[in-house]
Structure 1
Amino acid sequence: MMIFALVGSADTATYEMYPECVSDDSVLEQEFGERFNKFALLKARTSIKELSGGLTNRNFLIETPGDKYVARVSSNSSSFLSIDRGSEFVNTTIAGEGGVGAEVLDYIPGEGLLLISYISGKTYGAKDVAANLPRIATSLRNLHALKPFDHEFNMFNTQSNYLKIVKEQGFRVPDGYEDFAPMVAQIKKAFEVLFEGLVPCNNDLLPGNFIDDGKKIWLIDYEYSGNNDACFEIGNVWAEAFQPIEALEELVTAYYGAHRPDKVARAWLWALMAKYGWTLWASIQDSVSEIEFDFWEWGMSKYNLARSEFTSEYFKKALMAVTTK
């Protein structure tokens, strides 16, 4: 997961594909040079720059005399976060071959090393997402039309697994977190009424994971990718950009090509579940991550939004709406 907007002014800055670099060559060469030498394409490198924004891994822009590449070094905390690096590699490859994401150039299993192509473009901020919803809908449809991904992603299961981990490990949990379990059960039951199947999803499309090259919007970072309900993807995109409900309605209409109140409600409820689930992701990271970032505060912002939505008037209306076309 990468949270670009919190480590730079993503709404106003001009980036190429990834956010600004934060470290110099000499230190990085000493620390990572031996590992990068395992990639044949990087042996003739002329520079290494660390990219800001990675919260479950470290990402590097590496230049050679003839090209640019992005290398990813995974964090050891991935097992707590339900990240399957093998599935990530498979799904990133599918997205790259389908022209939706960056091309996978090399992968070293067991060492957390992934090498992908560099794509020149603008990294989005929240305002960019709001201004490009129809184009984003096109990119989502293109992703969702690819062949099935390696496994399924289900936020109900992920949230339950995260809760089990934080309890077993004694990590911090927000006050009153489990009070909303009955509402979660209501959402799950309502979704079963008009279930329409799964499609390959990124499942983590924060604004910084959209790259606009002027012709199309690329989708990057497939750590949490898997086959999922398309409305989870739509709702999560909307939620991570902190946009009003009108933006969700616009995105849903652009995606389905018609006004679909049932899909707006479904995407809204999935967005609520995403906030509720990612809250525990932050609790885990707050306890295990070596990256300097206030995970607890980030998670509490998610939780406070989820708590207000669980108790909102729209919650009950949304439950009814998802059961009626």
Structure 2
Amino acid sequence: MLSESSDIFALTVSERLDMVAALRDPNRLVEPLPGGLTNENFKVTTATGTYVARLSRPSSHLLGIDRDGEYRNSLAAADSGVAPAVVAYAPEAAVLSIEWLEGRTLTAADLGSTEVLRSVAESCRALHSGPSFSADFDMFDVSNRYLDTIMARGFRLPDRYLDFTPAWDRIRTVLSMDAPAAVPCHNDLLAANFIDDGARLWLIDYEYAGNNDPCFELGNMWSEANLGDAELVVLVDFYYGEHRPDMVARARLQALVSQYGWTLWGAIQQSVSSLDFDFWAWSMEKYERAVSTFEGPHFADLLGAVATGPRTAPTATEFRSTTEKEKSQ
């Protein structure tokens, strides 16, 4: 894994692109793409085609991003049929290139549409029934590593953050009870990671991909889009193909896990990123939402609903079997 002091980050974009054979063209057109908080992203047009080049930033290792794992998981996701093909990976240049997709990037407002949520559920099911990823993703473990980084480096921590450790531990215990089998999850489904080509939704950017509880995927996406309770029910029901109050409760609890855990991601970025972006405000928005649930009147009820709900979620094998049957119909 490249460290923040690696000499590669002193090179220009052009010099790094020249290190990737598929992108090496003296007449190439390089256009910056918006977004990207841990990468610089470019549309690269050469004589052979149009591609996306993702250039890692130096702080990636502090966020636990495994670029080799991202490459392997991008390949697996492409095999599932919901992600663009990988064109090239050059770890010595910290560059991953994927095929360019013509389409529209979704917004959070788009995700409030029932039909869009149906497509999101279908794309998630396809990814989740595809090849397993190279490692697991557990937000409890990830947040522990983030917290260790913050403490070791003296980064700013939100006020009272550690006061919720007992509740955090209770959540972990409840979610571990008869948990659904882990499936290959994206784990970072912001609206900007969906591309609509007019016929289907594609899922892009697999930095945080890993095998995980599917309800984390659903809850995290719901939280990132700031959707309402009704939309969570719609999303979960589309995903499972029936009304599942137990899985709605589980996804809602995983949304809380997402908010509390990603808060620390933002705290690290605020301390190390050179981007002109208010990571602290981003972090606090998530933290305040988490606190409102921790201290709200329904937190105990939510824990109880997950702890006592029916344990009828499909296993990974059953889930893949069901998905394959649907594809053949």
Q: Normalized against structure 2, the TM-score is what? A: 0.88
Of 205, 208, 213, the match for 1:224: 208
2: CA distance, partners of 1:109 / 1:42:
14
- Note if 1:158 corresponds to 2:142: yes
Alpha-carbon shift at residue 236 of structure 1 (Å)? 0.6
Counterpart of 1:114 in structure 2 is: 96
- Note if 1:37 corresponds to 2:18: yes
Query: Do 1:194 and 1:322's aligned partners in 2 also have CA atoms closer than 8 Å?
Result: no
1: CA distance, partners of 2:14 / 2:142:
35
Greater than 4 Å deviation, 4+ residue runs:
none
Identity of aligned residues (%): 46
CA distances 1:108-162 after superposition (whole Å, capped 9, x unpaired): 1243111100011110001111111011000000000011100000001111111
1: CA distance, partners of 2:251 / 2:227:
13
2: CA distance, partners of 1:42 / 1:79:
25
Alpha-carbon shift at residue 314 of structure 1 (Å)? 2.4
Alpha-carbon shift at residue 96 of structure 1 (Å)? 1.3
Q: Normalized against structure 1, the TM-score is what? A: 0.89
Alpha-carbon shift at residue 215 of structure 1 (Å)? 1.0
Of 212, 217, 238, the match for 2:196: 212
Q: What SS does the aligned partner of 1:271 have?
A: helix
For 1:113, the aligned partner's letter is: V
Q: What SS does the aligned partner of 2:12 have?
A: helix
2: CA distance, partners of 1:192 / 1:275:
19
1: CA distance, partners of 2:244 / 2:17:
48
1: CA distance, partners of 2:295 / 2:61:
33
CA distances 1:4-48 after superposition (whole Å, capped 9, x unpaired): xxxxxxxxxxxxxxxxxxxxxxxxxx9321221222222234311
Q: What SS does the aligned partner of 1:312 have?
A: coil
- Note if 1:275 corresponds to 2:259: yes
Alpha-carbon shift at residue 66 of structure 1 (Å)? 4.4
**In terms of mean alpha carbon deviation, does 168-177 or 314-323 score higher?**
314-323
The CA RMSD over aligned residues, in Å, is 1.2
For 1:51, the aligned partner's letter is: L
- Note if 1:312 corresponds to 2:296: yes
Unaligned runs of 5+ in 2: 1-10, 311-329
Counterpart of 2:52 in structure 1 is: 70
Query: Do 1:68 and 1:117's aligned partners in 2 also have CA atoms closer than 8 Å?
Result: yes
For 2:99, the aligned partner's letter is: S
Q: What SS does the aligned partner of 2:220 have?
A: helix
Query: Do 2:77 and 2:127's aligned partners in 1 also have CA atoms closer than 8 Å?
Result: yes
2: CA distance, partners of 1:74 / 1:237:
24
Q: What SS does the aligned partner of 1:322 have?
A: helix
2: CA distance, partners of 1:276 / 1:63:
40
For 1:173, the aligned partner's letter is: L
Of 176, 185, 189, the match for 2:173: 189
Of 257, 265, 280, the match for 2:249: 265
